[in-house]
Chain A
């Protein structure tokens, strides 16, 4: 199935929005259609339909337990690791390829769809080894190539200047914000197309958060980023489009400005203005 370049707007229960931030230039990368997702017999996602743009930042917002992280983890099949988690209906496609088809290798998929977690989780190894891990497991052992990737990734994650003199110290010796950027560097070292971020700043102080947000702005030139966040300001600051979830349903999806300034759904309005959640 070919991806159509036409629909810039895709929303549920939302009136047509007029003010796209980057009108017309984005093409769709990921298509989610009629997705129903279950943990054992408990349904977590209800009929999700969503098209995500290539090289844009999309934010998933919503109160705890609304299914936004679940959807995120469907995109690199991290849910496979949870017993009883399964998709009952619908599909997730990247460039038309259904991610949950039988012959899709989840390991290959995860090399293309990287992930940054809520709590920074560098391995108990050196900074250097943390970044080269993704390449080493692919069998790359060429020292020159690894050195190059380490520098490139650390620069990409705006961490190079801070750690270039101590690449062989433990990744755990860094501060919280640095650790999270190290995790981002580790993710981009394998050159994925999509980076999933699951509340990447929830454990960071405002200064470290600002640095990560700046980084997101830089990264979107190269990568498609999907970020789950509890911070409305963060979604407003760094995303191009925002999807609001509630109780496992997609309530509204539109340009970020529209969601925050002129939401089409009263629930969205209530949430973004801080009246619940």
Chain B
């Protein structure tokens, strides 16, 4: 055989294609495109987290400074005294409550006219006015000192502003003008002297106050029923307990020292456990997350209590019981709810639901329901009802998925053993999909806790911890929420101010809550997949 007759050898091509874009082949470009899109989500999440923490981080430093000036300017000192006055006011309110109950009894049960009632209560009114007057000496001192402390704080603030102005001028290179800015270093000790100097006077006032109180409550007015009388006796005891706290207050004042440092942890605890969110106040700003957190949780809880039976019940019905035609009607209807813009739901809540609930609450024969009747149209209940509407589609869709994932063979086996439809659903289908349903509920919770518009419009926006001593009636109180406060206040704050940063920290709390809820839900779902196998 000669070489010429050998068959031509085809080249063995296994290199990658030649067409390249930025040095990448077409396949690699496609890979990069889709990979990039997927990666973007991760990057955005990371950016949001970093941004939140960067903006919020300074809060604790600023809050510490805020708490320090609260101490250094003597506001804290005055607040100790003020607390005594406030407690007295609270007791007066209790007394007023007792009077209201008595009036209700006299006019209602006894059928007396208003004039007769007032005549009956003359002794009581005399007692309460004497009780109210006892605080006067303390009140006078507190009023005077409030002005002193405010003046010190103002001086300090003006000074800080001046320093800041000079810094800016220096940064701008205007040395002459900067030198012209007058700065006086505040001598807190001297400034506080008149404040601390009033301690003997306060001690006297406090002693007089205690003595007068003792005298007043030594004999309490007699009330018509044993129930009211026992309230009166309780009031007497409360007052005595109150008087017993006086030495502690005096002790606090004696040992008070404006130089005592504010530890860093205090700025943290003041936020985490702070029971007051008070901004733009002439006296002292407080950034405590508790009222907002409690508001958010309460509204979400109300929403879940309503949405879980509705959502899960509807899912069970549609998945297990409904005919094909009903399914075709119900499923899109429920899923459509999630398409309603929440602001529309919000004004529906104000205009319709709030009015309706209030009208229902004022129906006479419904007043056995806790919290009825209520006067506030916008409250946690109204917001909770609307949030439930928002949570239902989420819970319904995911719970229905979970039910769908239960193998049909379980259902058949149960029927073949002579189980009824209800028994099959309750004993086989629901237990088998329970973890899926639980995670549906969790995701529903995640959905409502982050909802803003509805709560901003309908929750009543009163920044205060709801009064849980009212029992179930607590749901009819107006609340404010974490989402609501951010939406309401973020537009008005100065960028970089402590208030601005505080809102970011609230955002971080919200973000962490949502993250935690989603994480739990995912974890439960994963476990559930494995168990069904």
CB neighbours (8 Å) of B409 from chain A are 117, 119, 121
* Chain B residues, CB < 8 A from A119: 409
Task: State in angstroms the CA–CA spacing of A133 and B431 once bound together.
Answer: 13
Which of B409, B413, B420 has the most C-beta atoms of chain A within 10 angstroms of its own C-beta?
A: B413
B97 within 8 A of A: no
- Name the residue of chain B whose CB is nearest to the CB of A83: B324
Distance between Cα atoms of A81 and B531 in the complex (Å)? 27
With A134-B418, A137-B423, A187-B416 already in contact, the answer to whether A83 and B323 are too (CB < 8 A) is yes
**What chain B residues lie within 8 Å of A100 (beta carbons)?**
none
Quote the shortest CB–CB distance from B327 to chain A (angstroms): 11
| Distance in Å: Cβ of A2 to nearest Cβ of chain B | 27
Q: Report chain B residues within 8 Å CB of A134.
A: 417-419
Chain B residues lying within 8 Å of A107, measured Cβ to Cβ, are 418-420
Given contacts A124-B432, A124-B532, contact A137 B410 (CB under 8 A): no
- Interface hits, A24-56 → B, CB 8 Å: none
C-alpha gap A117/B428 in the complex (Å): 17
Within 8 A of B (CB), among A180-231: 183, 186-187, 190
Q: Which of A108, A114, A115, A121 contacts B410 (CB 8 A)?
A: A121
The answer to whether A111 and B418 touch across the interface, beta carbons within 8 angstroms, is yes
Known: A83-B324, A121-B410, A137-B423. A110 touches B432 (CB 8 A): no
- Decide: A121 near B415, CB < 8 A? Known: A133-B427, A137-B423, A172-B533: no
Indicate if the CB atoms of A117 and B417 lie closer than 8 Å: no
Residues 394-407 of chain B, each 1 if its beta carbon lies under 8 Å from chain A, else 0:
00000000000001
Contact of A114 among B416, B420, B428 (CB under 8 A): B416
Chain A residues with CB under 8 A of B415: 78, 81, 110
**A276 contact set on B, CB distance < 8 A:** none
Return chain A residues, CB-CB under 8 Å to B410.
121, 123-124
Flag whether A4 is at the interface (Cβ < 8 A): no
A239 within 8 A of B: no
Q: Is B414's beta carbon under 8 Å from chain A?
A: yes
CB of A187 within 8 A of CB of B417, answer yes
**Which residue of chain A lies nearest to B426 when distances are taken between CB atoms in the complex?**
A137
CB-nearest residue of chain A to B531: A124
B412 within 8 A of A: yes
Give A119-134 as 1s and 0s: 1 = Cβ < 8 Å from B's Cβ atoms. 1011111000000011
Q: Are B416 and A78 in contact (CB under 8 A)?
A: yes
Q: Is A142 an interface residue (CB 8 A)?
A: no
Instruction: Say which residue of B323, B427, B432 sits within 8 Å of A137 (CB atoms).
Output: B427
| B417 and A114 contacting across the interface, CB-CB below 8 Å | yes
> Which listed residue (B324, B413, B533) contacts A123, Cβ 8 A?
B413
**Contact: B419 with A117, CB < 8 Å?**
no
A81: chain B residues at CB < 8 Å are 411-412, 415
Residues of A within 8 A of B532 (CB): 124
A76 to B423, CA, bound (A): 18
Chain A residues with CB below 8 A from B420, complex form? 107, 137
A187 vs B427: C-alpha distance in the bound complex, in angstroms? 17
Is residue A233 within 8 Å, beta carbon to beta carbon, of the partner chain? Answer: no
Q: Do B419 and A137 touch across chains, with their CB atoms under 8 A apart?
A: yes
Q: Is A138 an interface residue (CB 8 A)?
A: yes
Q: Which of A88-140 contact B (CB under 8 A)?
A: 107-108, 110-111, 114-115, 117, 119, 121-125, 133-134, 136-138
Interface string of B422-455 (1 = CB under 8 A from A): 0100011001100000000000000000000000
CB contacts under 8 Å to A, within B487-533, are: 531-533
Chain A residues contacting B407 (CB-CB under 8 Å) are 121
Bound-complex Cα distance A187 to B412 (A): 12
CB distance from A85 to the nearest CB of B (A): 13
Q: A83-B324, A124-B532 are in contact. Are A137 and B412 (CB under 8 A)?
A: no
- A115 to B417 CA separation, bound complex (whole angstroms): 8
Closest to B409 in A: A121
Evaluate whether A110 and B417 lie within 8 angstroms (CB atoms) in the complex, with A83-B323, A83-B324 already known.
yes
Residues of B within 8 A of A186 (CB): 413, 417
Give Cα A232 to B326, complex, Å. Answer: 44
B173 vs chain A, min Cβ distance (A): 77
Q: Which residue of A lies closest to B533 (CB)?
A: A172
Alpha-carbon separation in the docked complex, A69 to B407 (Å): 20
Question: Which residues does chain A contribute within 8 Å of B423, judged by CB atoms?
Answer: 137
Contacts of B419 in A (CB 8 A): 107, 133-134, 137
Contacts of B533 in A (CB 8 A): 172
A53 to chain B, nearest CB (A): 22
Q: Could you tell me the distance between the alpha carbons of A208 and B412 in the complex, rounded to whole angstroms?
A: 23
Q: Which of chain B's residues have a CB closer than 8 A to the CB of A125?
A: 431
Given contacts A83-B323, A172-B533, contact A137 B417 (CB under 8 A): yes
Please give the distance in Å from B410's CB to the nearest CB on chain A: 6
Q: Which of A83, A115, A136 is within 8 Å of B416, CB to CB?
A: A115
Residue ID in chain A nearest B423 by CB atoms: A137
A111 to B102, CA, bound (A): 67
Complex-state Cα separation, A213 to B345, whole angstroms: 64
Q: How far is the CA of A133 from the CA of B428 in the complex (A)?
A: 10
B17 to chain A, nearest CB (A): 47
Contact yes or no, A110 B413, CB < 8 A: no
Q: How far is the CA of A56 from the CA of B417 in the complex (A)?
A: 21
- Asked if B432 and A121 make an inter-chain contact with CB atoms under 8 angstroms apart, the answer reads no
In the bound complex, what is the Cα–Cα distance between A121 and B324 (angstroms)?
26
Complex CA distance for A111 and B415, rounded to whole angstroms: 9
Lowest 3 A-B CB distances belong to which pairs? A111-B418, A121-B409, A115-B416
Which residues of chain B have a CB within 8 Å of any CB of chain A? 323-324, 407, 409-420, 423, 427-428, 431-432, 531-533
Return 30 A-B CB contacts under 8 Å, by A number: A76-B416, A78-B415, A78-B416, A81-B411, A81-B415, A107-B418, A107-B420, A110-B416, A110-B417, A111-B417, A117-B413, A121-B409, A123-B410, A123-B413, A123-B414, A123-B428, A123-B432, A124-B410, A124-B531, A133-B414, A133-B417, A134-B418, A134-B419, A137-B417, A137-B427, A138-B418, A183-B413, A186-B413, A186-B417, A187-B416
Given contacts A124-B531, A187-B416, 9 further A-B contacts (CB under 8 A): A76-B416, A110-B415, A110-B417, A121-B409, A125-B431, A134-B417, A137-B418, A137-B423, A190-B418
